Amino acid sequence: MKNRINVKRLPKDPGPAAWNRILPSSAGYPTLKDDIHADWVVVGGGFAGLAAARRLSQLVGDESIVVLEASRLADGPAGRNSGFMIDLPHELNSDTYAGSQHQDQQQIRLNRAAIEFARETAEAYGMERQVFDPCGKMTAAGTAKGLAHINSYRGHLDALGEAYELKSAADMKDWTGSDFYQQGLFTPGAVMIQPAAFVRQAARGMSERVSFYENSPVTSMQFGAEHRLITPGGSVRAKRVILAVNGHIQSFGFFPSRLLHVFTYASMTRALTPQEISRLGGVADWGVLPADPMGTTVRRSSDYRGSGNRIVIRNHATLNQSIEVSPKNMKRAAGLQDRSFANRFPMLDGVEMEYRWGGRLCLSLNSMPAFGEIEERVWSACCQNGLGTVKGTLSGMMAAEMAVLGRSDLLTDYLDHQQPKRLPPEPFLSLGANATMRWKEWMAGTEL
Ligand SMILES: Cc1cc2nc3c(=O)[nH]c(=O)nc-3n(C[C@H](O)[C@H](O)[C@H](O)COP(=O)(O)OP(=O)(O)OC[C@H]3O[C@@H](n4cnc5c(N)ncnc54)[C@H](O)[C@@H]3O)c2cc1C
């Protein structure tokens, strides 16, 4: 066992977490100021951390559970994503798609178990439909290239026996108000969440059973019969620890040279006026995923507790192995998003973006999670390979089951994976990956 580690880097979240900003402010949780003891500590309050805490609370009787979050809940990536909880494998339409049918079916089963867990969480804590909406997902194309992607995606869905419905350009216009989309492909198993509201309400629901500490980053860890997690204001001693910090598991010294730190970016409009809403047309809440993997995700969300009706545009990705972005990255993303918005919503000319932000993803070359017992009684539930609303939830559930039960049917399926593959050396990795992403973005054309 290691004696001690110093955490090399703490999370830096570029720009505001807009989904959190548009919610009414709420009382937060204390900052850790004392030296305390707990039976269990979960580090990280995103999807993985919350799922781990909730699953632990179901499994460990009255043992105490503490969650330490570096920032404020819902200010990190968990509160800055597009909110699609997707049951189907994401890469069905990618060039690199090489999954076997058996693996895909296993992945779908696991994803659905995680969505079910999130659904139970939403029901237990009385979340409204605008927070957790089991509305399915629409993948849409605006160009011939996008249509080709939809076609190949359909082929994979047919092979898997998964249900879908095709939507015409007229259906898409009725639904979104935009002329941009030529075709849509609807699959019923996904859920759309207001990510920050989901995170906040899940934590609030658990808070009688689980002690949350915000603005309490773990800066070092001592390992022993009881591990000690040290933050700037205090520390927690605990026998068992779950690290649910996604890519920052590398900052704790684990999985070196195996994790890709990718940022993606988004912009949210100001609240639309009633005139703008009627010029736009379409329904009040919808979301569209791009048929081309390098394309643009769009969401329209209706007023929820005073948030106003808004549109969110997400695109662009950069590899930043420093786990930080530059102002140049943010500026380029803003330009691309303004162009995507103008292409889709000419009737909203003049509507400005109120918020712009970026957020971390963690990927591995072979799309494997960074999961398992990494030191005695320390488990990792990290590296969600992009789709962290679902895969984060899954890895948190699985880490809790592994730590408490040792085995379960779901865990047997989940553990059927390899370790994240070793990365090529720098500077070749960053130069190569960023050049490939720029080229794919360029090839995506107006799908972006
Ligand atoms: C713009 C954007 C759009 C996206 N859209 C989608 C989508 O539609 N669907 C989807 O499934 N995914 C989406 N994602 C990805 C998704 O947000 C992430 O994969 C997900 O948040 C990962 O969950 P997690 O709990 O593993 O990690 P995180 O949400 O990153 O949570 C980890 C937490 O650990 C904390 N932490 C880190 N270090 C420490 C420390 N030393 N001490 C204490 N706490 C620490 C961080 O502050 C953070 O809150 C999107 C991401 C972005 C940025």
For residue 95, pLDDT over 50 is answered with no
CATH of the domain at 319: 3.30.9.10
Query: Closest residue (by CA) to atom 14 of ligand 1?
Result: 81
User: pLDDT digits over 28-64, tens only?
Assistant: 999 999 999 999 999 999 999 999 999 999 999 999 9
Q: What is the mean pLDDT of residues 333-352?
A: 98
Given a cut of 80, whether residue 444 has pLDDT beyond it is no
Examine the pLDDT at 135 and tell me if it is beyond 50. Answer: yes
Rounded to an integer, the average pLDDT of 392-405 is 98
Q: Is residue 181 domain-shared with residue 271, that is, in the same domain?
A: yes
Average pLDDT rounded to a whole number, residues 363-380: 96
Model pLDDT, residue 99: 57
Residues 85 and 80: their CA atoms lie apart, in Å, by 14
Nearest atom within ligand 1 for CA of residue 362? 19
Question: Based on the domain organization, do 182 and 292 belong to the same domain?
Answer: yes
In a domain, 393, yes or no: yes
What is the domain count for the chain?
2
Instruction: Give the closest residue to 90 by CA, choosing from 385, 297, 398, 437.
Output: 385
**Residues 351 and 264 occupy one common structural domain:** yes
**Span from the CA of 79 to the centroid of ligand 1 (angstroms):** 8
Residue 229 belongs to a domain: yes
Residue indicated by tokens 């972005």: 325
What pLDDT, in 10s, does the model give residues 252-304? 999 999 999 999 999 999 999 999 999 999 999 999 999 998 899 999 999 99
By most ligand atoms within 8 Å of CB, the mutation choice from 246, 324, 378 for ligand 1 is 246
Q: In terms of domains, do 291 and 355 share one? A: yes
Residues 140 and 28 in one domain: no
My answer on whether 347 and 384 are in the same domain is: no
- Tell which atom from ligand 1 comes closest to the C-alpha of 384: 19
Structural domain containing residue 41: 4-79+196-257+366-422
pLDDT of the residue at 98: 45
Q: Are residues 361 and 372 in the same domain?
A: no
Tell me the CATH number at 397: 3.50.50.60
One domain, residues 357 and 373:
no
HSE of 375, CA atoms in CB hemisphere, 13 A:
23
Burial track 309-337 (b if 16+ CB lie within 10 A, e otherwise): bbbbbbbbbbbbbebbbeeebbeebbebb
Does some domain include residue 8? yes
Q: Are residues 346 and 371 in the same domain?
A: no
Out of 82, 200, 218, give the residue to mutate to test ligand 1, the one with the largest number of ligand atoms within 8 Å of its CB: 82
- Residues 212-234 pLDDT 10s: 999 999 999 999 999 999 999 99
Confidence of residue 439 (pLDDT cuts 50, 70, 90): confident
- Do residue 347 and residue 321 come from a single domain? yes
Residue-level pLDDT at 97: 42
20 and 61 together in one domain: yes
Ligand 1 pocket, CB under 6 A = 7, 10-11, 43-49, 68-71, 76-78, 80-84, 217-218, 244-246, 248, 264, 266, 314, 359-361, 384, 386-390, 392
Residue with more model confidence, 141 or 99: 141
